[in-house]
Amino acid sequence: MGLEKTWRWFGQNDKIKLSDIRQIGIEGIVTALHHIPNGEIWSLEDIEQVRLQIEKHGMRWSVVESLPVHEKIKYGAPERDLLIENYTKSLTNLARCGIHTICYNFMPVIDWIRTDLHYKPENGTEASYFDFVEFVVFDRYILRREAAANEYPQEIIEKAESRFASMTSKERVQLINTIIVETQGFIDGISVDDPEQAVEIFKGLLEEYKGIDNGGLRENLKYFLEGVIPVAEANGIKMCIHPDDPPMKVLGLPRIVSSQDDIQWVLDAVDSTANGLTFCAGSLSAGAHNNLNKMVKLFANRIYFAHLRSTRLLENGNFYEAGHLEGRADIYTILKTLLLEQKKRMEAESPNQRIPMRVDHGHKMLHDFTFNYHPGYPLIGRLKAMSEICGLEVGIERNLE
């Protein structure tokens, strides 16, 4: 049996409807209660409403992505105990509705980072791109973060300085929009429409992390896990932390889920089967230091959710999102490892046997250009990727028989 085929759906306002998703052969939905402000309890009624809607279309609500962790928990504000308590109440309510797989991340302030959402590989499609120099432009010359000058190689700073000088104001606004508005607003990040205002909110949040290094953020994650994992265990829930995207330190912020050692640390911090991982092949592959084949094998028994995609690394730390079967992530080996792990779970008749996977992101192509889908989440691009991966999966399964 294949991995559970899932699809990220953004709720009522998603232009891709549940009835469309069903036609793709999807079994499970990955979604969140995006309308509930971060930190508030997800009530039984709200969860049930979405669950029933999904089931009416012949699928199940397989994974919550994300049950967002409030910034105050991440930087360890006094209110964190109350926020953690709220979090556990949401978990209990989800479990009562039969939803047991929860994806979350512990990236401070900013989630996935790209500098260009319209990069054009030669074939006429569009992919997302991370340009190191552009990112330093944002950090050093738009946010004007003083310490940035010492955190990057001199050569990059110089390139960023001349790039900034040559940028039109429209290009500057576009860069802000891409980094902190368009890519963040529709998930769980700060949601504002005005770039100037976004920069101000953003700077305020950066301030909160002054003095918190990786060690400090680890302590705060451990504190959170100690509060949450016992409740997850008692309710048959699997918590799946999402890696940092890209997997490196950014904007002087601590980032602690970027490498094999980091993940090992998270899993050991509270050593419970309820404390698991979202294996995001795309995020991890953007770090030249990550050996994904080794990591997927090493962590297989704690992986409860997979994001399948790949990146191509270029010079200077630049990268773009490659086709799903191209680039640095060896999807063949990753998929095979997860299929073998799932088989083991099924033979052991353990709960949560099937591993949900979704294709993550997709190239914009064909009719995607006429619809304003969320960045990274076009219909046709994801459909193509899903078909490729499903075909590969059948091949692997037949070979394993």
| Residues 147 to 166 in contact with ligand DNO, rule: CB under 6 A | none
To the query of whether residue 363 is one of the catalytic residues in this protein, the response is no
Tell me if 90 sits within 8 A of 42, measured CB to CB: yes
104 contacts ligand DNO (rule: CB under 6 A): yes
Q: Give the number of residues in contact with ligand DNO, rule: CB under 6 A.
A: 12
Instruction: Answer yes or no: 360 catalytic.
Output: yes
From 188, 330, 360, 368, active-site residue? 360
CA angle 317, 128, 187 (to 5 degrees): 110
Quote the distance between the C-alpha of residue 33 and its chain's center: 16
For the window 51-70, what string marks contact with ligand DNO as x by the rule CB under 6 A?
--------------xx----
Site string for ligand DNO, 251-290 (x = CB under 6 A): ----------------------------------------
Do 61 and 96 meet the contact criterion of CB atoms below 8 Å apart? no
Task: Determine whether 361 is an active site residue.
Answer: yes
Task: Answer yes or no whether residue 125 interacts with ligand DNO by CB under 6 A.
Answer: no
CA–CA gap between residue 358 and residue 55 (Å, rounded)? 18
Number of neighbours of residue 158 by Cβ within 10 angstroms: 13
Using the rule CB under 6 A, is 103 a contact of ligand DNO?
Answer: yes
Q: Does 306 bind ligand DNO (CB under 6 A)?
A: no
Q: Which stretch binds ligand DNO (CB under 6 A): 13-21, 103-111, 118-126, 145-153?
A: 103-111
Beta bridge partners of 364: 126
Q: Per the residue annotation, which of 242, 244, 262, 330 is the catalytic one? A: 242
DSSP3 helix / strand / coil % (the chain, rounded to 5): 45, 15, 35
Q: Around Cβ 288, how many Cβ atoms within 10 Å?
A: 12
What count of residues does the chain have? 401
Nearest partner of 109 among 42, 202, 239, judged by Cα = 202
Indicate which single residue of 80, 100, 218, 242 sits in contact with ligand DNO (rule: CB under 6 A): 242
The binder of ligand DNO chosen from 76, 376, 378, 381 (CB under 6 A):
376
Q: Are 106 and 241 in contact (CB under 8 A)?
A: yes
Asked if 111 touches ligand DNO (CB under 6 A), the answer is: yes
Distance set, CA 350 to CA 64, 180, 305, 342, 390 (Å): 21, 41, 16, 10, 24
| 173 phi-psi bin (left φ>0, alpha ψ -120 to 50, beta other) | alpha
Comparing C-alpha atoms, which of 50, 113, 10 is closest to residue 373? 10
Catalytic residue among 70, 100, 307, 324: 307
Nearer to ligand DNO, 157 or 287 (CB): 287
Name the one range near ligand DNO by CB under 6 A: 105-113, 162-170, 192-200, 225-233.
Answer: 105-113
DSSP bridge pairs for 319: 130, 313
Question: Using the rule CB under 6 A, which residue among 7, 112, 130, 373 binds ligand DNO?
Answer: 112
Active site residue 374: no
* Least gap, CB of 343 to ligand DNO (angstroms): 27
- Judged by the rule CB under 6 A, the positions of this chain that interact with ligand DNO are 65-66, 103-105, 111-112, 187, 242, 245, 360, 376
Active site residues: 242, 280, 307, 360-361, 377
